[in-house]
């Protein structure tokens, strides 16, 4: 078996290259984080070949030409082993070769076959099993895997592979961590998917590294988690991956339907393209709760239910679409309004946005009927103007559902923004105190059942 040393400071890249070469070519592989860790020339000479990144950032943020340092070391100690440098470097002579900074796994393997003189005969002997294992940490930064992912179960001595994550499913670090916490160390993929998947993992990691060098920032900062709606949060609030899928499909369908209206589609696009804004998060989370509980509300089945569901997305994403600023979006009562410094136009907009949006929606053909009514009532007033003192039960059931869910989402986001621990039960308790009518409390009950 041939022995190979991989030197790369990015753990993900290191491990995807290693997994690929181990599985595809049965190399025996050791890894190092960077070339400064090499001190023993005899030890280095025991490898058949070395794969090393061109440069890395050290712990003090300095840019180090690791590949060049390795080559110098090899020349100084007269070690005659082939080296493949990952990323551009001006030293293509003899047994030293460099690959472009966006290399593929195939590039590495072809180069190794050449550099190590691996024969066809040798390659034929290497046969992968039907399911190939991939170390679980490789999946941390993979958001939408390009193929189905399996776990291995062993029953009465026989291995079974069970599909757990579907191709293009939403995946994030927290989901992966949960498997890891259950003592799972490897996922499995079908052998025909293996190369494609490893390529995807590698290219996502490479994009981050290449970008980091371009912007001359530390890689850590680039790959650190940004504030977004994570799968972890969704699990905590009781939203299933199926619901996320449903919401995403509905959003796409809605975008197509409104594409005929220039004004509306421009407004919608700017909302949907900015996923980290407060507006997007609030609308999106509201729609997710809606989709999650709607089947439990006894509003019919089949076609009837589908018609109701079709409306949800429009209500959630359009009701406040005229309010372009976060400070306006955060006004839910006359009291709130008194605390914010507003121009007269802004005041008018806040008080009348529900009614104004209704008028806008009425001009669009092809959207589900009845949305205008719910949008008009979304702050609880029948004519879409102002904020009523009390919530009544003579609103449309969808409007009532919307009012409760949105209030829940507002409180959740408040808590996240304040970096507090999310206490869903106490938020729901507050909602119970706030809404007195049973038509409203029925919705709270459903929200509670998502987490208990």
Within residues 320-359, the interface with Fe ion by CB under 5 A covers 320
Nearer to Fe ion, 53 or 320 (CB): 320
> What single string gives the DSSP state of each residue in 223-265?
HSPPSS--HHHHHHHT--HHHHHHHHHHHHHHHHHHTT-HHHH
* Least distance between Fe ion and beta carbon 235 (Å): 25
Instruction: Write out the two tokens for 261.
Output: 């209206």
What Å distances lie between residue 210 and 89, 207, 385, CA to CA?
Answer: 14, 5, 52
Nearer to Fe ion, 111 or 358 (CB): 358
* Least distance between Fe ion and beta carbon 353 (Å): 6
Nearer to Fe ion, 189 or 321 (CB): 321
Q: Give residue number: closest CB to Fe ion.
A: 320
Nearer to Fe ion, 98 or 358 (CB): 358
Name the 3-class secondary structure at 59: coil
Mode of pairing for the β-strands spanning 28-32 and 3-7: parallel
Within residues 307-326, the interface with Fe ion by CB under 5 A covers 320
Nearer to Fe ion, 320 or 372 (CB): 320
Are the C-beta atoms of 86 and 55 separated by less than 8 Å?
no
* Least distance between Fe ion and beta carbon 443 (Å): 16
Return left, alpha or beta for 200; rule: phi > 0 is left, psi -120 to 50 is alpha, else beta: alpha
CA–CA separation, 75 and 71 (whole Å): 6
> What single string gives the DSSP state of each residue in 136-198?
GGGGTT-SS-SS-EEEEEEETTEEEEEEEE-TT----HHHHHHHHHTT--EEEEEHHHHHHHH
CA–CA separation, 379 and 386 (whole Å): 8
Query: At 84, phi and psi to the nearest 5?
Result: -110, 120
CA–CA separation, 336 and 217 (whole Å): 41
Nearer to Fe ion, 48 or 320 (CB): 320
* Least distance between Fe ion and beta carbon 238 (Å): 21
- Asked if 48 is part of the footprint of Fe ion (rule: CB under 5 A), the reply reads no
Nearer to Fe ion, 173 or 376 (CB): 376
Nearer to Fe ion, 47 or 402 (CB): 402
Instruction: Write out the two tokens for 446.
Output: 């459903």
CA angle 191, 141, 316 (to 5 degrees): 115
Are the C-beta atoms of 123 and 135 separated by less than 8 Å?
no
> What single string gives the DSSP state of each residue in 8-29?
-S-HHHHHHHHHHHHHHH--EE
CA angle 401, 404, 405 (to 5 degrees): 80
Nearer to Fe ion, 14 or 377 (CB): 377
Residues in the chain: 452
Instruction: State the residue for tokens 């594409």.
Output: 259
Nearer to Fe ion, 320 or 446 (CB): 320
Are the C-beta atoms of 29 and 4 separated by less than 8 Å?
yes
* Least distance between Fe ion and beta carbon 446 (Å): 20
Instruction: State the residue for tokens 């998060």.
Output: 281
**Count of positions on this chain that bind Fe ion (CB under 5 A):** 1
Instruction: Write out the two tokens for 201.
Output: 């993992």
Site mask, Fe ion, residues 265-304, x = CB under 5 A? ----------------------------------------
**Radius of gyration over alpha carbons of the chain, in Å?**
28
* Least distance between Fe ion and beta carbon 91 (Å): 60
Nearer to Fe ion, 55 or 311 (CB): 311
Nearer to Fe ion, 355 or 439 (CB): 355
* Least distance between Fe ion and beta carbon 354 (Å): 6
Contact residues toward Fe ion (CB under 5 A) are 320
């Amino acid at each position: 078996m041939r022995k190979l040393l991989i030197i790369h400071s990015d753990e993900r890249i290191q491990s995807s290259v290693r997994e690929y070469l181990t599985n595809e070519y049965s190399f025996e592989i050791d890894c190092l984080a960077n070339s400064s860790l090499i001190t023993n020339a005899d030890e280095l000479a025991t490898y058949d070949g070395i794969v090393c990144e061109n440069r890395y950032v050290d712990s003090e943020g300095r840019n180090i030409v690791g590949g060049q340092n390795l080559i110098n070391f090899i020349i100084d100690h007269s070690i005659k082993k082939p080296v493949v440098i990952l990323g551009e470097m001006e030293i293509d002579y003899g047994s030293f070769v460099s690959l472009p900074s966006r290399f593929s796994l195939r590039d590495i393997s072809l180069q190794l076959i050449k550099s190590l003189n691996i024969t066809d005969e040798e390659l034929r002997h290497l046969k992968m099993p039907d399911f190939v294992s991939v170390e679980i940490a490789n999946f941390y930064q993979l958001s939408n895997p390009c193929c189905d992912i399996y776990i291995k179960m062993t029953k009465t001595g026989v291995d079974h592979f069970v599909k757990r994550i579907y191709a293009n499913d939403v995946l994030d670090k927290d989901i992966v961590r949960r498997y890891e916490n259950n003592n799972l160390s490897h996922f499995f993929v079908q052998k025909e998917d293996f190369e494609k998947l490893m390529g995807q993992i590698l290219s996502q990691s490479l994009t981050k590294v290449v970008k980091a060098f371009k912007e001359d920032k530390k890689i850590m900062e680039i790959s650190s988690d940004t504030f977004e709606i994570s799968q972890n949060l969704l699990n905590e609030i009781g939203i299933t991956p199926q619901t996320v899928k449903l919401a995403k499909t509905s959003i796409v369908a809605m975008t197509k339907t409104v594409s005929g209206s220039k004004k509306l589609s421009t407004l919608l696009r700017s909302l949907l393209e900015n996923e980290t804004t407060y507006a997007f998060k609030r609308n999106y989370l509201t729609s997710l709760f809606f989709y999650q509980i709607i089947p439990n509300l006894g509003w019919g089945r089949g076609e009837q239910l589908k018609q109701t569901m079709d409306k949800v997305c429009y209500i959630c994403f359009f009701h406040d679409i005229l309010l372009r600023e976060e400070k306006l979006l955060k006004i839910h009562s006359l009291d709130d309004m008194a605390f914010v410094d507003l121009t007269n136009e802004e005041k008018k907009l806040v008080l009348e946005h529900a009614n104004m949006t209704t008028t806008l929606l009425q001009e669009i053909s092809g959207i589900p009927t009845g949305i205008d009514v719910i949008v008009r009532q979304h702050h609880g007033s029948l004519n879409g103007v102002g904020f009523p003192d009390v919530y009544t039960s003579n609103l449309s059931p969808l409007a009532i559902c919307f009012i409760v869910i949105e209030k829940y989402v507002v409180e959740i986001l408040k808590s996240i923004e304040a970096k507090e621990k999310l206490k869903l039960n106490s938020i729901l308790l507050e909602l119970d105190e706030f809404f007195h009518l049973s038509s409203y409390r029925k919705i709270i009950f459903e929200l509670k059942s998502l987490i208990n």
